[in-house]
Amino acid sequence: MASNIGHSYRCAIFGESHGKMIGVEIDGLPPGEAIDEAELQAFMARRAPGNSHLTTKRKEPDLVHIASGIMDGVTTGFPLMAYIENTDQHSKDYSNLLDHPRPSHADYTAYLHYKGFADMRGGGHFSGRLTAPLCIAGGIAKQILRRRGIVIGAQLLQVAEFVGTPFDALNVDAETLEKIATKEFPTLDFRAGAKMQHAIQQAANDGDSVGGIIQGAIIGVPAGVGSPMFDGIENRLSQALFGIPGCKGVAFGDGFDSVTLRGSVHNDPFTIQDGNIVTTSNHAGGILGGIANGAPITVRIAMKPTASISKKQQSISLSKHEPEDLVITGRHDPCIAVRAVPVVEAVLAMSILDLLLEEHSI
Amino acid sequence: MASNIGHSYRCAIFGESHGKMIGVEIDGLPPGEAIDEAELQAFMARRAPGNSHLTTKRKEPDLVHIASGIMDGVTTGFPLMAYIENTDQHSKDYSNLLDHPRPSHADYTAYLHYKGFADMRGGGHFSGRLTAPLCIAGGIAKQILRRRGIVIGAQLLQVAEFVGTPFDALNVDAETLEKIATKEFPTLDFRAGAKMQHAIQQAANDGDSVGGIIQGAIIGVPAGVGSPMFDGIENRLSQALFGIPGCKGVAFGDGFDSVTLRGSVHNDPFTIQDGNIVTTSNHAGGILGGIANGAPITVRIAMKPTASISKKQQSISLSKHEPEDLVITGRHDPCIAVRAVPVVEAVLAMSILDLLLEEHSI
Amino acid sequence: MASNIGHSYRCAIFGESHGKMIGVEIDGLPPGEAIDEAELQAFMARRAPGNSHLTTKRKEPDLVHIASGIMDGVTTGFPLMAYIENTDQHSKDYSNLLDHPRPSHADYTAYLHYKGFADMRGGGHFSGRLTAPLCIAGGIAKQILRRRGIVIGAQLLQVAEFVGTPFDALNVDAETLEKIATKEFPTLDFRAGAKMQHAIQQAANDGDSVGGIIQGAIIGVPAGVGSPMFDGIENRLSQALFGIPGCKGVAFGDGFDSVTLRGSVHNDPFTIQDGNIVTTSNHAGGILGGIANGAPITVRIAMKPTASISKKQQSISLSKHEPEDLVITGRHDPCIAVRAVPVVEAVLAMSILDLLLEEHSI
Amino acid sequence: MASNIGHSYRCAIFGESHGKMIGVEIDGLPPGEAIDEAELQAFMARRAPGNSHLTTKRKEPDLVHIASGIMDGVTTGFPLMAYIENTDQHSKDYSNLLDHPRPSHADYTAYLHYKGFADMRGGGHFSGRLTAPLCIAGGIAKQILRRRGIVIGAQLLQVAEFVGTPFDALNVDAETLEKIATKEFPTLDFRAGAKMQHAIQQAANDGDSVGGIIQGAIIGVPAGVGSPMFDGIENRLSQALFGIPGCKGVAFGDGFDSVTLRGSVHNDPFTIQDGNIVTTSNHAGGILGGIANGAPITVRIAMKPTASISKKQQSISLSKHEPEDLVITGRHDPCIAVRAVPVVEAVLAMSILDLLLEEHSI
């Protein structure tokens, strides 16, 4: 089964880009949680297109309707179903794509997997549009976590070759994480951010696209939460994060950079601070043996360049079974990493809440 | 639940470093599969310590006993339980560690998670020794997959700053993958390999350690196998790979390098070759939308530097609740990435077989 | 997690009796299956109230809207979400019940489990109304199974002390199962049926209720399908059937009657018929060791008397914490077993399709 | 997957009747639980054959070896693996059965399911012998539950047509449940018990067998524990109980008898007693809407007559594909319900502990 995840906060995503509705069914919400729908809607707006000149001009108001599981603004504990009605579809923009799989998209693999029956208009169930229900599930989770002092944030760390400043691995705080969420272009490093935006604009001008790295951080997860082997924090977060369309890499703490360090540098020494056992550095990204050690959890997500570009590309005709050039029209983000920042937050929130509920640590 | 994974080839790992036995219980083996125990034992030997001057001198013969699920060398379809008796434990070597958590190990997080009851001698259930049962489960899976033309291999791609030659993303073949498995130091690039070994030896001489990147490749997975969202090939493989102790990053295809590419470069064009739809490059690592496209599946795994080093480190005393220096004696690999190469193969094999059995694609 | 079931045909139920919508999200539908919505609607009508003088007079048209997963009447393979809008709620009828848990209902246990936050108007998520989404999931499954020659039917076998004629354990055929579905009062035995109806009418006249036994039958499941231990056909069907509100017992084949038989009578002898291995009797209900043997699968489900009765009952006031009499007004079925007949069919269909898809036997 | 069950106390059973070992791997044990191995062994002895003249004369000492997960008699929280070495196999007794499936056994269905590769000597993985690992998992669970005031017991309620006295549905206490476990023939009703034993002896004398009903009771489960729909107490217990070889029916509270009652009789009235909300009767068997209401949980399990009888039966030859008579030699229980009594307790304990751990209610 593909489109559901979680055990104690189980989210099942449904919908297609050009269908009637997209949404999510969530089982396992604790009863008695106030859910601020305006705050949820504001979170949805961070993902919605049309926010800036760097994102697609399609308008998706992403108005969330809650069909069950909430009464008078408070969770009942029953399954919550929430949906968004699809409104701004231009199916004819995509009509020639059904015979010509777009390079680096799921068009061809879905064609095989679903034996030609999948409704792939606009990318179908594989569309980036399906990150909206992820944001519903994650936006609700964020509110529940925030109430327990667990705060999640994310930023653009890199676009093309322009690298910003990472979160302070040891001391990143809630204020920083919440402030960055208010920025139109969410990156800590103003100067690098300007270069990133320029790179995106240039790619757009060229009918092309660029990739990026998103960094996420989670603070407040109690030390001791997690599991060994296949069910640790890294296992769960990576399984969920690779569900974001375009994600090609996930790394915790120093990640791939750790390989060039010696153990004597990479190991995080222990000490006592204010009576608590803490580490004096955080190369581990807050996780040892799959279990939180109390330091901030940090993670990097590699987002590939947007697959949909205006430039002419080589595809094939499925019906003629021969190579044919393809030009994708329509409106696309030149860098999917930008709008994926709140999606990363959402996925982290879903996964961490699931873990905490399962361990009854909140 | 921590120590089991898989749905249709479900593996449950048990045992502690200094316990009586370690092993694995496997449910879901197809009936009628001949399992060559000598071949399995030879695969185990690739992981076993003491193979070279670059690995720990501990001897773990890792002799596999099969307790159920096989009759006359053929799987019955009933659950298979296999175990290794622990023999070469030096528990006293580790005795002072129980009060002094080793930096970058799971000692402290396990102490919290298991409320002080975990048997952490030698790392307990978190020990690298527990990769032996992974190799049992993966070694059996490899034999079943090989019979269907699915071949899995891995190599050391990087140690410290020395980078070797990656597998040919589009054309890596079974012969290459199987040949590299026979090498004492498994890397395609002889010259880079020499530098890697030198770096490891230097770290060992300094009482220190280094990290490394392992690259895995899987060929023969039929196009169309996989799932969208949370249950795709990347989701499953990453969840499993982060179960290898020391793994801090997982990336597919171009992974983190893809972010500096433009879409026009990164997108893999389609063409027709010998009547088949194929791509002319493989930046995607053989996976689009979580589903195999028929190209080789390629993955990189970042292994942090070995946490156990001889150099003096700063820890704390749990009983005194104050900082204390720690010197770890005993025998440890200066670079865990070396012996993790067959473990990566094993984990890939377990995961891919699980997926294929679930989809009944083999 | 409570409200979802299945692995390969996974159904997640949502909604409350007096909420906005009730429905189901289904993941795992095979692509390319024509779904006849009129046939589905006709199946829904069998469960809907108001069909006869023996069922509640509430009108629930149960009009099914499909929001995703189907295009041009054919499954795409993507998750299907279907919902029914709630229309005919009379919340004030139930208002005094929120402080006075109804005996034999989930009111009190839900009050504890959900800490007072559950929306229990009309029974909330525990309402018999939630069997409508089960009928959506099962009605779709029935169409897919029918196409493969697997037919599912059910009848009222007993109401109060009046027992009808069971299905012929060995020779029940599709024609019989499909014909009984067309009857207003679904029982094979006309005479016993008249007595059953009379008993229901009498109970209704007395402001009381009666229970009943439903018998289900499944024909066409290929011999060899199933699993040992905890995942066999009996395990799966019983887990699902106890999800029907009011179900208090599930038995296969001769069930509880088997205990008075000797093995020499109960054992089903083998023979060869038309070249096939068959049994000459079917005390086992078509299942041995959790696996189908090719004979019809037969199951009995005990449905307790409707908990909601008009007669005065003793309850307590939750707010005053003292005993208080309770009179339930509103409209209720005097025998829930009657309308549960298609629900049993639906649950059997969901479960069998899940099993067959998981084993790729269809 | 067939042979594992549970989420938070997950048990995976392995082994065959005539293999090397049988056993269980358990993941999810809470750390710090003292496990009394002598008490466990005494519990195993209740299931072991040879206890009385009414059970098979085979001797299976069922000596439990614990391979992992326990240190100094206390659970570590790591996976526990425990095994029993098979010793008293007489494979030749069963040799002719491999070609002649025994009526009412899994021989034929397993032959199909496992494509002829299953090791069916002595019933293979389907053997009643595999209830020994269930008793390991359940015996450990019983000790953990007992410490929290949750006590589980079972008795023979019926053999052939002889019915004993059920547990007092409302007031059954721990003393009664623990006392009955010490009896050689575990039934409350001495007189009915004598008749049951006589019926078993007569069946044995005739080379035949009889069935029986086991009644289980669980006291001390906190009110509010459980779930609606598919994951309630009835769903979980029934799924597990049908894993006991020979179980053909499961019913809670009044079960199948409830259908002849009117709602006004069956509904359990609420009252206040000693300041607590309680019911004044317990027709519901302690469960409403899948959730415990605080009253004792009561369940009945129908066990069919032993399939292995000495009398000549009609089978077929798989190799000749023609009918042939079959005479089963060897030693068999004339009534499997007798030795299944502790197995029912074990399965109830496994399931309830799993539920309580999942809900963190203990």
The full 3-state SS of D142-179, as one line of letters, equals HHHHHCCCCEEEEEEEEECCEECCCCCCCCCCHHHHHH
Subunits with 3+ C-beta pairs closer than 8 A to A: B, C
Q: How confident is the model at residue B45 (pLDDT cuts 50, 70, 90)?
A: very high
Q: Using a CB–CB cutoff of 8 Å, tell me whether A228 touches chain B.
A: yes
Per-residue pLDDT reduced to its tens digit, B268-304: 999 999 999 999 999 999 999 999 999 999 999 999 9
d(CA C31, CA C184): 34
- Tell me the chain A residues in contact with residue B160 when contact means C-beta distances shorter than 8 Å: 259-260
3 state SS of C329: coil
Q: Give the contacts of C334 (CB within 8 A, at least 6 positions apart).
A: C54, C200, C201, C203, C204, C208, C209, C210, C306
| Predicted local confidence at residue A89, as pLDDT | 61
Mean pLDDT score, A189-216? 97
| Predicted local confidence at residue A231, as pLDDT | 95
Task: Please give the helix or strand (H or E) that residue D214 lies within, else none.
Answer: strand D212-219
Q: Nearest chain A Cα to B162, which residue? A: A260
Report whether pLDDT(B38) > 70: yes
d(CA A194, CA B290): 33
- Tell me the chain B residues in contact with residue D68 when contact means C-beta distances shorter than 8 Å: 14-16, 19-22
Judge whether B347 and B241 are in contact, CB under 8 Å: yes
Report whether pLDDT(C49) > 90: no
Q: Nearest chain B Cα to A248, which residue? A: B255
Mean pLDDT score, A165-183? 97
| Predicted local confidence at residue D273, as pLDDT | 95
Please state which of the ranges B81-95, B329-343, C269-283 shows the lowest mean pLDDT.
B81-95
C-alpha radius of gyration, chain B, whole number: 21
Q: How confident is the model at residue B96 (pLDDT cuts 50, 70, 90)?
A: confident
Identity (one letter) of the amino acid at D177? Answer: L
Q: Which residue, C136, C128, C5, is CA-closest to C58? A: C128
Identity (one letter) of the amino acid at D210? Answer: V
Subunits with 3+ C-beta pairs closer than 8 A to D: B, C
- ipTM, two decimals, is 0.96
Along chain D (362 residues), what's the average pLDDT of each consecutive run of 10 residues?
90 96 97 98 91 64 94 97 85 71 96 94 94 98 98 98 98 97 95 98 97 98 96 98 98 98 98 96 98 98 97 95 92 94 98 95 72
- Tell me the chain C residues in contact with residue A25 when contact means C-beta distances shorter than 8 Å: 12, 14, 25, 81
Judge whether A103 and A314 are in contact, CB under 8 Å: yes
More confident residue, C360 or C283: C283
Identity (one letter) of the amino acid at C170? Answer: L
Q: Using a CB–CB cutoff of 8 Å, tell me whether C89 touches chain A.
A: no
Per-residue pLDDT reduced to its tens digit, C168-205: 999 999 999 999 999 999 999 999 999 999 999 999 99
- What pTM did the predictor assign? 0.97
Kindly list the strands in the beta sheet with B65-68, ordered across the sheet, starting from the edge strand earlier in the chain. B4-5, B10-15, B21-27, B80-85, B65-68
State chain A's maximal CA–CA distance in angstroms. 72
In the stretch 49-88 of chain D, residues with CB closer than 8 A to chain C read none
Determine how many CB atoms are found less than 10 A away from the CB of residue D60: 19
Q: Using a CB–CB cutoff of 8 Å, tell me whether B12 touches chain D.
A: yes
Q: Give the contacts of C291 (CB within 8 A, at least 6 positions apart).
A: C223, C224, C225, C226, C227, C228, C232, C233, D106, D109, D110, D112, D113
Query: Any idea what DSSP says for residue B6?
Result: -
- Tell me the chain D residues in contact with residue B130 when contact means C-beta distances shorter than 8 Å: none
Judge whether D185 and D156 are in contact, CB under 8 Å: yes
3 state SS of A163: strand
Q: Which residue, B331, B204, B159, B339, is CA-closest to A258? A: B159
d(CA C36, CA C26): 17
**Mean pLDDT: which of A88-92, C58-62, D72-76, D92-96 is highest?**
D72-76
Judge whether C212 and D256 are in contact, CB under 8 Å: no
Q: Nearest chain C Cα to D333, which residue? A: C263
Beta strands in chain B (DSSP E): 4-5, 10-15, 21-27, 65-68, 70-71, 74-75, 80-85, 151-159, 162-163, 212-219, 247-252, 270-273, 276-279, 287-288, 291-292, 297-303, 313-317, 322-326
Judge whether D246 and D340 are in contact, CB under 8 Å: yes
Query: Any idea what DSSP says for residue A25?
Result: E
d(CA D4, CA D10): 7
Task: Return the percentage of chain A with pLDDT > 70, whole number.
Answer: 94
| Predicted local confidence at residue A360, as pLDDT | 87
How is residue A211 written in tokens?
């990739």
| Predicted local confidence at residue B236, as pLDDT | 98
d(CA B14, CA B66): 14
Per-residue pLDDT reduced to its tens digit, A294-345: 999 999 999 999 999 999 999 999 999 999 999 998 878 999 999 999 999 9
Task: Choose among B159, B259, B272: nearest Cβ to A302.
Answer: B259
| Predicted local confidence at residue D87, as pLDDT | 83
Per-residue pLDDT reduced to its tens digit, A37-68: 999 999 999 998 876 667 665 565 799 999 99
Please state which of the ranges B87-91, B220-224, D63-67, D319-323 shows the lowest mean pLDDT.
B87-91
| Predicted local confidence at residue D175, as pLDDT | 97
Q: How confident is the model at residue C95 (pLDDT cuts 50, 70, 90)?
A: low
pLDDT, mean over chain C = 94
Handedness of CA D199, D201, D207, D209 (dihedral sign): positive
DSSP C182-249: TSSS--S-HHHHHHHHHHHHHHHHTT--B-EEEEEEEE-PPTT-B-SGGGSHHHHHHHHHTTSTTEEE
Beta strands in A243-352 (DSSP E): 247-252, 270-273, 276-279, 287-288, 291-292, 297-303, 313-317, 322-326
d(CA B339, CA A341): 36
3 state SS of A108: helix
Judge whether C353 and C361 are in contact, CB under 8 Å: no
In the stretch 323-342 of chain C, residues with CB closer than 8 A to chain D read 323, 337
Judge whether C187 and C160 are in contact, CB under 8 Å: no
Q: Using a CB–CB cutoff of 8 Å, tell me whether D362 touches chain C.
A: no
Mutation for testing the D interface, residue in B1, B13, B14 having most D CBs under 10 Å = B14
CA distances from A214 to A247, A302, B242, B283 (A): 10, 7, 20, 20
Q: Using a CB–CB cutoff of 8 Å, tell me whether B124 touches chain D.
A: yes
- Tell me the chain A residues in contact with residue B255 when contact means C-beta distances shorter than 8 Å: 248-249, 302
d(CA A281, CA A329): 49
- Tell me the chain C residues in contact with residue D232 when contact means C-beta distances shorter than 8 Å: 2, 242-243
Say how many CB pairs under 8 Å bridge A and C: 156
| Predicted local confidence at residue A91, as pLDDT | 56
Identity (one letter) of the amino acid at B6? Answer: G
**Cα of B73 to nearest chain D Cα, Å:** 11
Q: Using a CB–CB cutoff of 8 Å, tell me whether B319 touches chain A.
A: no
Q: Please count the CA atoms within 13 angstroms of the CA of C177 that sit on its side-chain side.
A: 25
Task: Choose among C20, C67, C118: nearest Cβ to A78.
Answer: C118
**Contact state of D124 with B78 under an 8 Å Cβ cutoff:** yes
- B276 phi/psi in degrees, rounded to 5: -105, 145
- Cα angle B362-C6-C12, degrees, rounded to a multiple of 5: 130
- Tell me the chain B residues in contact with residue A288 when contact means C-beta distances shorter than 8 Å: 104-106, 108-109
Q: Give the contacts of C202 (CB within 8 A, at least 6 positions apart).
A: none
Q: Which residues pair with B247 in a beta bridge?
A: B303
**Contact state of A1 with C15 under an 8 Å Cβ cutoff:** no
Subunits with 3+ C-beta pairs closer than 8 A to C: A, D
Query: Any idea what DSSP says for residue B167?
Result: P
Identity (one letter) of the amino acid at B86? Answer: N
Q: Using a CB–CB cutoff of 8 Å, tell me whether C113 touches chain A.
A: yes
Task: Choose among B27, B68, B116: nearest Cβ to D15.
Answer: B68
Query: Any idea what DSSP says for residue D20?
Result: S
Per-residue pLDDT reduced to its tens digit, A278-301: 999 999 999 999 999 999 999 999
Q: Nearest chain D Cα to B7, which residue? A: D1
Task: Choose among C12, C69, C113: nearest Cβ to A25.
Answer: C12
Locate tokens 């402030």: which residue?
A179
Q: Using a CB–CB cutoff of 8 Å, tell me whether C215 touches chain D.
A: no
Report whether pLDDT(B167) > 60: yes
| Predicted local confidence at residue B297, as pLDDT | 98
Mean pLDDT score, C268-293? 97
- Tell me the chain A residues in contact with residue C31 when contact means C-beta distances shorter than 8 Å: 114-118
- Tell me the chain B residues in contact with residue D67 when contact means C-beta distances shorter than 8 Å: 14-15, 19-21, 23, 83
C-alpha radius of gyration, chain C, whole number: 21
Q: Residue A291: left if φ>0, alpha if ψ -120 to 50, beta else—which one?
A: beta
Task: Choose among B250, B261, B313: nearest Cβ to A238.
Answer: B250
Task: Choose among A28, A31, A68: nearest Cβ to C14.
Answer: A68
3 state SS of B140: helix
In the stretch 264-303 of chain C, residues with CB closer than 8 A to chain D read 264, 266-272, 275, 277, 279-280, 283-285, 287-293, 300, 302-303
d(CA C274, CA D23): 42
| Predicted local confidence at residue A60, as pLDDT | 58
**Contact state of C251 with D252 under an 8 Å Cβ cutoff:** no
- Tell me the chain B residues in contact with residue D12 when contact means C-beta distances shorter than 8 Å: 4, 10, 12, 25, 27, 79
d(CA C253, CA C101): 37
Start-to-end CA span in chain C (Å): 28
Task: Please give the helix or strand (H or E) that residue D107 lies within, else none.
Answer: helix D107-113
